[in-house]
Structure 1
């Protein structure tokens, strides 16, 4: 599995229908740091590749809570990765509803990643 695919799987957990505590957020941040991808790249992956694939789960009455099916997730993220200008425009327009349910958690993860002492 590639480092980008690992990042997709880790980030998708932000949209599961579960409450993520600090330990879970630290675990996601650890996996993202281990991917070796830059912070800018991770932010692009979050907004343009993962969010468009999984965001409706936060708006579902009874969403997925155990984990997204990996083949479905990876295929969708690959498709989103190769999306052109229209895809990026849709993501910018829909950014708030796509990230509404996990914005605070994402900010915590970014803080962990920015902390040089975070392991």
Structure 2
């Protein structure tokens, strides 16, 4: 498969979901409308919560955690094209040992956004009529 095609496929497959989930890394908490968009995209992509967790931890967090530190509360300086480019670049390299390494370090890269992701996961379960696990 050609390089361009591969990138295009990745953006088609994940782009909308990545952009929908990106507010998890803002300095402020996501708005209701942002959570609603996340849930719509998760449902559209028909992912299990386990797959969603994987996307959050491995596909997005290593890239987004770097953003999080440099970002103001809004996406003012935030360019979707730049973000997608970085995510695609990261994900094309995400094979074999790199995946294992990111799995190990994902606790660090997800630390700040984890409570929001957990909130999203709960909302997805509720929207799907599943019962969240008791804490």
Per the normalisation by structure 2, the TM-score is 0.70
Q: Specify which structure has the bigger relative contact order, considering alpha-carbon pairs within 8 angstroms and separated by 6 or more residues.
A: 1
Q: Unaligned regions of 5+ residues in structure 2, if any?
A: 1-10, 131-135
> Are the counterparts in 1 of residues 58 and 106 from structure 2 also a CA contact under 8 Å?
no
2:48 paired with 1:38: yes
**CA radius of gyration, larger in:** 2
Shift of 1:5: 0.9
Q: SS in structure 1 opposite 2:112?
A: helix
Q: Unaligned regions of 5+ residues in structure 1, if any?
A: none
* Cα-Cα RMSD: 2.4
Q: Which residue of 2 aligns with 1:29?
A: 39
2:116 paired with 1:100: no
2:18 paired with 1:8: yes
Shift of 1:109: 0.8
Per the normalisation by structure 1, the TM-score is 0.78
In the alignment, the residues of structure 2 paired with residue 104 and residue 56 of structure 1 have an alpha-carbon distance, to the nearest angstrom, of 18
2:78 paired with 1:72: no
**Number of aligned residue pairs:** 116
Q: SS in structure 2 opposite 1:49?
A: helix
